[in-house]
Structure 1
Amino acid sequence: MTINEADPQPQAEPEPVTTAGPGALLREAREAKGWTQAEVARRLNLRLAVIESIDGDQYKAGVALTFLRGYVKAYAKVVGVKEQEVLAAFDGMSGIEQIKAAAPMQSFSRKTRQQASDNWLKRISWLVLLGLLGSLVYWWWQDSGVNYMEPGLDPNVQQQEEPAPEADIPVVAPQLTLPAAPITDDADTTVEATPDTLAPVAAIDEKTAEVTEPTAAPAVATIVETETPAADPRLLAMNFTDDCWIKVTDGRGRVLAEGVQKARQALSLKGEPPFRLILGAPHAASVEYMNKAVDLSSFSAGRVARLTVPKS
């Protein structure tokens, strides 16, 4: 018995049933009005690419579903198509499910990226904070090391070396010549000079011995005449008894001094004459030029003095 086995034919996979979207319906209504896609985009204040994607039912998964429904609804209202009919066609499209599924994934991806960015910012903030704390600790350690001093010592007072002890100068007693013993006729009364009899005379205390020194000649008073230094025309001297703001400019326009001068302060300025002076408190300043005082009595207190030295 022969059994003819038929070769099995491959069965074609059923094509997915796609449901038409609202693009064709909206496109026909737009063409009936004689409008172009650009005209509708201008009326809806949308990009031309959005109107083209709606007419071709080509919706990008990157756009939120709520926005897509809003665009379709506004398109239908402009061209005069019922909104319920257009939205029903939009919701029945097969590609809408993919857009719905992609939306949560994109939201999750954005959330993950945001969390990664936040974690990175936190790490940077901690590193900056640790760096500041390290700098603060180092500064405190360095400052405490500078201020450290041994107990009993003041760092502001310099230790003075003790002077070396002066060498003791021995006092030498002068040698004394004793007179010869007197000679008498009576041998019994003769006193011999023996060491025992000379001891009281020769024993002289070193402390009571006086050393005679040559008398110094009287000092002759000499008068030294101090010569007055020659006057320098390039030198200007100033002294202050109180705080005074000044500005001094020489003949070449160079500012030699400017600012507030304190009480009991002196200045010696050198430049090319003539000097132009501005004194905020002339009563607190004294000016000397060519070894002569400059008269400032004409300037009253509270008045700024402006003068030229020497006067032209």
Structure 2
Amino acid sequence: MITLSATHEDITVGVLADPPAADLRDLIDTHLHMPFPFGRNPHEAEAAAAVDAWLSAWGLTGEPGVAAMIARTRPARLASYNGPAMDAGLLRIVALQIAYQFVFDDRAEDVGGRSPGRLVPMLCESIAVLRDDRPPATPLGAALADLYRQVRERCTPGQAARWSWAGREYVHGLLYEAVAQAQPGLVRTGDCTSIRSLTAGVEPFYPLCEAARPDELSAAELHHPAVQRLRRLSADAAVWIPDLFSAVKEQRSGGLINLALAHQRAHRCSLQAAVLLAVRQINATIEEFQRLYAEVEPELSPAGIGYVEGMIGWIRGCYHWSRTVPRYADTVSVPAVPLAP
């Protein structure tokens, strides 16, 4: 039995690793429920080369810190793990979108950290591109416009419209995050998870999961209550898993919108105990996803099944990417059990 002491309570975990977990990554691996098998796309190297060329073509690699950030985050690896069966063309679009969102997110964090209001021009440009098809005024906006063009060329009009709508939700989430970071004392755990579901930018990829199949989902399947719930559960699990591995990095940089750190603030406990609380929440989410999918799968068409399998890819892929990517290497620097004071 491992008991991790908190200020107001003891958080006890009744599962021992054999051998015991050495560091925080081991602790996550020991307790996280991951029922979906690992996969990797054979076109990953091509996608990585395409990311480098695309970022360079739109002038983004030359901006301070971008090249180093891409080397640490490896967008093509995340795309490969999330979509192991995607064709090379679609994998390329997914990898470009991941790279774009990493650049956009880091820029928003830098600008919004100085003042949430400074984000407005940047966010408004994105909304104008995605909603009104207006010409961009910055290299980042031009990259988004080109990405939108590629999505429309590959996807059906309905899929492209869903991609655009989900992208706008992501943009709005970054403003909520900046406001929350400016007033951390007001942010509750529920607020954190709500904001995180937007800033993760997972749902914009689900229309691309649709596009991986030859047939488009029917409106009845797309809006089926069970499918909508599966979409929510999978997006939450897919973003909360990286929060486990990024908690050390976020804590050191003053980050706020992170599931593990939200539990740490709420329970006034150690980071290790907070991570385990977050793991419990993720496990419950994945288990609900599995139960619900088993119930609804007999009703789904092959396109519907493929769509849900794409959601599973994001849960599985985010786990394997997070535990190996250099961006979160600090996870292994923290012991599995808090050091005695």
Tell me if both proteins adopt one fold, taking TM over 0.5 as the criterion: no
Which protein has the bigger helix share? 2
**TM-score with structure 2 length normalisation?**
0.19
Which protein has the bigger strand share? 1
